Structure 1
Amino acid sequence: MNNNIKLHMIGNAHLDPVWLWQWQEGYAEIKATFRSALDRMIEFPDFVFTCSGAAYYEWVEQNAPEMFEEIRQRVQEGRWVIVGGWWIQPDCNLPSGESFVRHGLYSQRYFQEKFNVMAKVGYNVDSFGHHSMIPQILKKSGMDSYVFMRPDEHEKQMERSLFWWESKDGSRVMTFRIPISYNNWTANDNEDPTRYKALKVFELAEKHEHDLMNFFGVGNHGGGPTIGNIQSIQRLQEEYRADRFKISSPNAYFEEMGKRNLDLPVHTDDLQHHASGCYSAHSETKALNRQAEHRLLTAEKFSAFSHLVAGFSYPATEILRGWKNVMFNHFHDIMGGCSIKEAYQDSREAYGESLNIAAVSLNAALQKISWSIDTMKDEIQSLSKDVDWLTWEQKDAGIPVVVFNPHSWEVHAPVHVNRMLKGVSDDQGEAVEYQIVRASRTNIEDKYDTVFMGRIPAMGYRVYWIYKDKKLPLTAVGQQALVSEPYALENHWYRLEIEPHTGHIKRLYDKLNGTEVLKGQGAVPIVIDEHHCDTWSHGVFEFRNEIAKFSDAQIKLIESGPIRSILRVTNRYNFSVLQQDFILYRDKPGIEVKVKLDWQEKHKLLKLSFPVNVNEPEATYEIPYGYIERPVNGEEEPGQQWLDVTGNTGADDAQRYGLTLLNDSKYSFDVKDNDLRMTVVRSPMYADHYGVRDEFGEYMDQGVQQFRYALVPHEGDWRNAEAFKKANELNVPPIHIIETYHKGSLPQIAEGIRVSASNVIVTAFKKAEDLDGYILRCYETDGKDGETTIEIPVLNRKWTMRFGKCEIKTLWIPSDPEQAVSEVNMIEMPV
């Protein structure tokens, strides 16, 4: 043995609070595991325990306060080492960028408050892959190193177990991949498993010529280090030398390795792939997650804005509760769709609570603003419903509708009001074109709604007026009129043709650029067999076993008017039905598609295919707080709200052109050559790890689901398509409140923020956790350095600052106007 090499023996208990059991069982197991770890400390004075997951500590604090005090004492002694700095060990591909920030914000502050320490080491030992913006998020959340295990060596070969991991902005963390397992591990029944594994890892350390960590302890369902584990290590220490197999912690390991100035490789990619099926398993959980993340952020923004302009009481406690539910459901076995069926009733309830908390907070904030807007008209003396039982309109004066935009840029978007109207005007009294559309209700003759296009200021609002009986003469005319045919739609930008017998897109023509967008049929619903996959799709990285396409098309023009036209395409396969509503707006580029799927298949997967008409294609995916280019090799990849394929087109291959696909609830995609595909649904059994399948197995994603996607053809690349902004607009449309007449201090139009650079997006605006003032979080989207001027009129603040490429900035805006705006880290502490 090399006399200079040693192993840091890491005593841990991998704790899945939910997997083949529900969270209530996980709750009990965490208490038992923590008790066991404390017992080991009494029995073995040199024993050190490592544990992550702020949620677990909070459970113990609430349910076993005496044990919590013991843990506090051991933390102060340095024998109980807190790692991770996040609420649980989440899926590290699917939560939003801001969600990863919240894991650090709430968890690190919790650890600081309760234990007077913060985690120094990021720790996700069982998560199924890791997006490449994690280094920046870790660094700005107080952590400068990272531990993971998946993908394993057989899934991703890497030069070393220890390396630097660097994100696009240049942030770098020392990163360690756990060899063999985070648990106890048995490969040979004739040997002591602790000894056997330790010697195997020691061989690897000698090969790498530096120390490694070796993890031990019973895991998954908790347990942690056993008496036998520690006795085995003691025997190794006696046999080889005590410091060769040192009971240690990740903190101690990284501190020691950081002092050695090792020449370590630098990794700048994400860390994939493991369990590719988890990007699409259990569609409902993923859709609820997307909705809850966005609604909480929107509630925060308008709660802060409403507090400033109307004195609204900011609901900090409620919003924190909402985020805790969402963060818990990010746990990799929940978010990854690989837990038991009963666990998804629990996650449904938790997401429901968060969505309701956000909805109640948001509504109260918006209505506080809308009630404070001056909407009184000279001819109105008092409120009365003499004229109409449904609205407060009098004397054909109209009723105000306050439309809110949560984004940090102006949006031009449809507003859908559940009334049948004769007129619409803006805040200046200018008539606005509208369209009568079928409502969801069938109430005698009352079964029609109204849609009009609103233009709403950034993170602000605008009042529109709706009229029950008064018709208004239009003075402004929009773009070229919509053309609606039985199998085709056309506007100023595109001509979209549907093939009658298949229901697939036959042609999508970009009129402004003179380009055929697709090379072959598009929106093709392809059924893929995956009987050979377990729930995770372990060892399967491509889904290409095509067995059928949805067919038997029925096509119907269901809307045709001055605002938009809709072609409904209905396809069938076996007992499954796919309904796609292709929507073209007259004054808004892009093709929006509203989908309703009734899925009745088992061990099958459905993809929508879009072969983009380009050569030398390049695929770019949105990842949390960033983007990444990946090979066009057909491998299943995780993504967020958009995916783009761009390449060369034209006779000389000089013109750059592409197609961006937006979505509101999907996370799984692949691109093979120029064929862009979105995975819509998978139907494996629940928690099937290559088990013996029988007639009692339960299958996920059976029945009806609904979602939206959109196609944005563009010249240039995804930046020209404004992919980040358009995806957020699809996910978070304007919100409106139907108001009445009243005096107020606020104007009928207000802008909440101004950001000079188009490549800087604001994701969060909230009250600071304990600083006096507000937090604004922004990130650079396009990979370009530059200066940006930001203005918040209601705070009378305006400042200019520089953003590096792909940089995430957290800014503190003090309530005291004499104090300058300053940058803080993601846990809202000085940089």
Structure 2
Amino acid sequence: MHNDSRLVLERITRFLGERISPAVYPERIPLSLTAWDVPDEPVPFADAVGQRFEPFTAGSPWSKPWGTTWFHVTGSVPDAWLSASDSRPVEMLVDLGFEGDAPGFQAEGLVFRPDGTTVKAVEPFNSAVRIDGATVDLYVEAASNPNIGGSWQWGVTPLGDKSTAGTAPIYVLRHIDLAVRDVTVWELERDVWTLLGLHAELPETSNRAAQILRALEHMCDAMDPHDVAGTAAAGRDALAGVLGVEAAVGVHRISAVGHAHIDSAWLWPTRETIRKCARTFSNVLALMDDYPDFVFACSSAQQYAWMKQFYPELFERIRARVADGRFVPVGGMWVESDTNMVGGEAMVRQFVAGQGFFEREFGVRATTGWLPDSFGYTGALPQLLAGAGLEQFVTQKISWNDTDRFPHHTFEWEGIDGTRMFTHFPPMDTYNSILSGEELARQERQYAEKGEANSSLALFGHGDGGGGPTREMMAAAHRTASLDGSPRVAVEAPEAFFAKAKAEYAHPPVWSGELYLELHRGTYTSQARTKQGNRRSEHLMRQAELWATTATIRGGAEYPYDALESAWQTVLLQQFHDILPGSSIAWVHREAERNYAALAERVGALIDDALGALGTTADAGGAAASTGVLVNAAPVPVRGVPALGAGVPDAAVQTSVRLDGDSVVLENERARFTLDGTGRVVSAVDSASGREAIAPGESAGLQIFRDTPNKWDAWDIDQHYRRHETDLDVDVVLDVDDQRGAVRVTRRIGESTIEQEFTLACDSATLEVTTRVDWHERQKLLKFAFPLDVRADRAASETQFGHVYRATNENTSWDFARFETAAHRWVHVGEPGYGVAVANDSTYGHDVTRQTRRGGGTTTLVRQSLLRAPVYPDPEADQGEHVLRSSLTVGAEVADAVAAGYAINLPLRAGAAPIEPLVVVDGDGVLVESVKLAEDRSGDVIVRLYEALGTRTTASVRFGFGAASVVQTDLLERELTEPDGVDASDVSGVRLAVRPFQVVTLRVRRAL
């Protein structure tokens, strides 16, 4: 930079900071304050205003961590200000003790009128409230949320647990003042801010940069530093010329949509999210009153539902703006969920619940999928998005990759079944833009589709409860609508952007398969209890709906629509992308564990009621509600996938457990497994082939690793963990239980105790392992390793409605970065003619690698990540007792892996009173995922099936009840005008012809 330019910029910057900005509010006076500190949890407005408020003085501390203080603010507008016009509005300015630059991670407030209606919020960068009239009589509900993560100083903190957060006040209220805003000065401030931001991005030697710099210098000359208000207009005139130079026709076009990403829980509990939503949405509605062109996109039906429940007046105002097309529901999901670990049917229900709420309350359905912050995206998602009526998809999280840069910003995303979804990544790499010059320039610079297309999307607003968009951001958008040197910016709805993007880019590139995030790999494992609660709850809901439907059809019972809907909403909320992944504070996860326990009791009772209506009990093939163990006397027979637990095995087929020297052997006619004296599996042979599955010289067993991520404890597993591997083969006690046919192995490691029980069921090639852990390690990773004598070029991992193949080599940087992956119930590795399946009942994190042995031969290593022990944001994460189940099936095809996954998650036992199944499928690998009654409460039966093996196939579906008609629907249970997968149907059944991994939903109207 030339010395002259540097000096000029120093002058301009100082003039802005010391002269212009302070003059925005030339006059201000303090208002009168009284306060009431809420003793415990927040209370509604009606309860607060009836309390005794005490005098309060600015400069005083207020409230403890997670506390709430209500301030009653009163005063009179000076007579001299009463003539204020639009150029000099009167405003209330609030500073609750805001810290630094972390909106959303600290104190926040919501302003109420005396009648209980909301005005707007006060936030670190949005602290002004318009005052109309001669008097001030307002209430401020101030939340003293601790700054746990906004400073990005990640470490052990007790603040995430209310019981350890302390009671000392953590904020000092600086002021609540009445002030006059000089709009001309404010507009000048915005002019200067925009031009300085643009100048910083231009080549220093460019003519445009020089013009802007000189105009800013002339602005300083035209103004009197001692009379900023009186000369602000002259300053604006000096800048009008450079601000009026329009952008070239061909410059990059940015569609800017207001947004406020609000995590439904994270570094705060859900109760605080409810208030964050109220604050942000109040701000949004106030901004819409001032800016007729402002458009705001908001996802998560759950957050709208909270407003309806807790802030009905605010919700009605939102409803009106939705009708105007300015408050735009997007996403179509109940929450912005995780997509790596959510089960297939639960993922469907995210859309069923979300889109259903939008249609009931607003008469619209979302058309844009919206997951800007989830930690990677399953390859099953395109089919589910399309099936739920979504036409395009938005995220930006893949820009966080730690190894590879994703090659596209606009592309077609192809799912595992072949469905394609038009997808866009905002090139700004953020969903919290302020529309600064630096951000706009970055968006244009990084846009990957240059030359082919010319439009991109920007999401602006302070997120995470930071208040959303501001008038300063709108000012930036207006100034860059057509400004030479900057992209053109238009504030508009996402649908407007996608209409342009699709029109200009008819043949975008295709990305096939999952969108794997090369970061946050630890989220597949952190907070094991939350993950186990999710898995158990998903399967409980499956059983509850099946039995309730059966009881309604066969026993005349009333279907528990409301109870099931409420239970599903609990499950769906806790699949939010910072709850299920285990990356929230202790408060959130302890609440999740309590919710899962209560749900198991409630849903177990529903199952018991249904079984009672059918004249059977849990012991006769129902559900053991007290433990959440799922059983079913009537498995659906499916050709191509072994029936699970169907009937009692032949009494002649037995499993023996015997000592063989220093080893223990579990054997039946189908397989033989051998454990050595340290409790590790040294041999696994299936009788059909006689082949050994354990690699030579290796053994399957537990390993522990140092787990100290570079940045984010609960989020990340970094590859260097592999350098610190220890087999747990010392301090071992092995015991054989002859009566139960089990081998029990107990180990101690550090302060922890681990007990594993190995069993081999009759007529089974599956070794089942129950791991009980009393876990007291810190920053350690526990894995269950299976070194297999299989040359597998790729591993199949179950995902929603199918499986995904991932390379086991590290040929490319993309393969290298995929060192920890998510799988649902099973992983399968194999070579032609032989394979092995590893299944689990609640584990998601896995790593699968292979190496060539010295002298030839290949070892494929499959490891389950059982437990972690991160210390941030929950220092007690995963501490305590856990029970985890795994299984190893030898001589397994993919169909056997599917069966093993179902068996360990939905164990079956023969019942005393078998019940004729409602649905019977005859076909290779076509599985029934859910049986329920329709969402519209018509009494129609909904049957969802999917092809599980990855092949094109046919199947027939028969119903165990009278059917009047059968139609194929989308996921939202709307009849398809062009059925896709139904080859033929009549009242006797349906003939399916499906593609690999296709999901088919049938709607059956029952005969009267």
Category of TM-score, reference length = shorter chain: 0.7 to 0.9
CA distance in 1, matches of 2:776, 2:459: 43
Deviation by residue 1:323-370 (Cα, 9 ceiling, x = unmatched): 101110011111111111111121122222322221111111112212
CA distance in 2, matches of 1:784, 1:291: 29
Contact 1:276 1:541 (C-alpha < 8 Å) held by counterparts? no
CA distance in 2, matches of 1:406, 1:33: 50
Q: Is residue 2:445 matched to residue 1:203? A: yes
Written as runs of structure 1 = structure 2, the 5 A alignment for 1:604-619 is: 604-619=780-795
CA distance in 1, matches of 2:364, 2:758: 54
Contact 2:655 2:666 (C-alpha < 8 Å) held by counterparts? no
Shift of 1:312: 1.5
Change (3 A) 1:355 1:255: farther
Considering Cα pairs closer than 8 Å and 6+ residues apart, tell me whether 1 or 2 has the greater RCO: 1
Change (3 A) 1:290 1:589: same
Contact 1:636 1:669 (C-alpha < 8 Å) held by counterparts? yes
After alignment, is 244-253 or 541-550 more displaced? 541-550
User: Which runs of no fewer than 5 residues in structure 1 stay unpaired?
Assistant: 187-192, 376-401, 412-452, 457-463, 465-473, 648-654, 689-697, 739-746, 818-831
CA distance in 2, matches of 1:677, 1:539: 14
2:923 maps to which residue? 757
CA distance in 2, matches of 1:64, 1:601: 44
CA distance in 2, matches of 1:181, 1:567: 53
Shift of 1:522: 3.1
Written as runs of structure 1 = structure 2, the 5 A alignment for 1:209-220 is: 209-220=453-464
Contact 1:766 1:775 (C-alpha < 8 Å) held by counterparts? yes
SS in 1 for 2:742: strand
Mark the structure with the bigger radius of gyration: 2
Aligned residue identity for 1:578: I
1:449 maps to which residue? none
2:653 maps to which residue? 479
Written as runs of structure 1 = structure 2, the 5 A alignment for 1:91-490 is: 91-152=338-399, 154-155=401-402, 156-185=404-433, 194-205=436-447, 207=450, 209-237=453-481, 239-240=483-484, 244-273=488-517, 274-371=519-616, 404-405=632-633, 407-409=635-637, 455-456=646-647, 477-479=651-653, 482-485=656-659, 487-490=664-667
CA distance in 2, matches of 1:51, 1:345: 28
Aligned length: 696
Written as runs of structure 1 = structure 2, the 5 A alignment for 1:705-724 is: 705-714=882-891, 717-719=893-895, 721=896, 723-724=897-898
Shift of 1:154: 4.2
Q: Is residue 2:844 matched to residue 1:664? A: no
Shift of 1:168: 2.2
CA distance in 2, matches of 1:750, 1:537: 46
Aligned partner (choices 754, 768, 773) of residue 934 of structure 2 = 768
Shift of 1:307: 1.0
Written as runs of structure 1 = structure 2, the 5 A alignment for 1:500-649 is: 500=677, 502-519=678-695, 520-533=697-710, 534-538=712-716, 540-541=718-719, 543-552=721-730, 554-560=732-738, 565-632=741-808, 633=810, 635-647=819-831
Contact 1:528 1:546 (C-alpha < 8 Å) held by counterparts? yes
Shift of 1:629: 0.6
Aligned residue identity for 1:144: E
CA distance in 2, matches of 1:714, 1:737: 29
Contact 1:14 1:182 (C-alpha < 8 Å) held by counterparts? no
CA distance in 2, matches of 1:645, 1:233: 53
1:35 maps to which residue? 282
2:113 maps to which residue? none
Q: Is residue 2:300 matched to residue 1:81? A: no
CA distance in 1, matches of 2:774, 2:523: 21
Aligned partner (choices 780, 783, 786) of residue 953 of structure 2 = 786
Contact 1:301 1:406 (C-alpha < 8 Å) held by counterparts? no
After alignment, is 198-207 or 285-294 more displaced? 198-207
1:67 maps to which residue? 314
Change (3 A) 1:110 1:532: closer
Contact 2:301 2:357 (C-alpha < 8 Å) held by counterparts? yes
Aligned residue identity for 2:322: V
Aligned partner (choices 765, 787, 804) of residue 995 of structure 2 = 804
Shift of 1:259: 2.3
Aligned residue identity for 2:423: T
CA distance in 1, matches of 2:939, 2:487: 49
CA distance in 1, matches of 2:364, 2:383: 21
Q: Is residue 2:295 matched to residue 1:48? A: yes
Contact 1:484 1:565 (C-alpha < 8 Å) held by counterparts? no
Shift of 1:596: 0.5
Shift of 1:615: 2.3
Contact 1:125 1:150 (C-alpha < 8 Å) held by counterparts? yes
Aligned residue identity for 1:170: G
Aligned partner (choices 489, 492, 495) of residue 672 of structure 2 = 495
Contact 1:767 1:775 (C-alpha < 8 Å) held by counterparts? yes
Identity percentage of aligned residues: 28
Aligned residue identity for 1:670: D
Deviation by residue 1:151-191 (Cα, 9 ceiling, x = unmatched): 216444222101000112221111111333434458xxxxx
Aligned residue identity for 1:408: V
Aligned residue identity for 2:611: L
Change (3 A) 1:351 1:537: closer
CA distance in 2, matches of 1:372, 1:95: 30
Q: Is residue 2:254 matched to residue 1:7? A: yes
Contact 1:403 1:737 (C-alpha < 8 Å) held by counterparts? no
Contact 1:528 1:605 (C-alpha < 8 Å) held by counterparts? yes
SS in 2 for 1:292: helix
2:189 maps to which residue? none
After alignment, is 273-282 or 364-373 more displaced? 364-373
SS in 1 for 2:264: coil
Aligned residue identity for 2:989: K
SS in 1 for 2:870: coil
So what's the TM-score if we normalise by structure 1?
0.80
CA distance in 1, matches of 2:585, 2:889: 38
SS in 1 for 2:480: helix
CA distance in 2, matches of 1:636, 1:92: 16
CA distance in 2, matches of 1:718, 1:732: 18
Provide the alpha-carbon RMSD of the alignment. Answer: 2.6
Aligned residue identity for 1:773: D
Change (3 A) 1:640 1:616: closer
Contact 1:340 1:687 (C-alpha < 8 Å) held by counterparts? yes
Aligned residue identity for 1:524: G
User: Which runs of no fewer than 5 residues in structure 2 stay unpaired?
Assistant: 1-246, 621-629, 811-817, 851-859, 964-987
Shift of 1:481: 5.5
CA distance in 1, matches of 2:586, 2:311: 29
So what's the TM-score if we normalise by structure 2?
0.66
CA distance in 2, matches of 1:39, 1:499: 70
Contact 1:341 1:686 (C-alpha < 8 Å) held by counterparts? no
Deviation by residue 1:35-75 (Cα, 9 ceiling, x = unmatched): 10111111111110010000000011112222212111111
1:815 maps to which residue? 1006
Aligned residue identity for 1:637: T
Shift of 1:536: 4.0
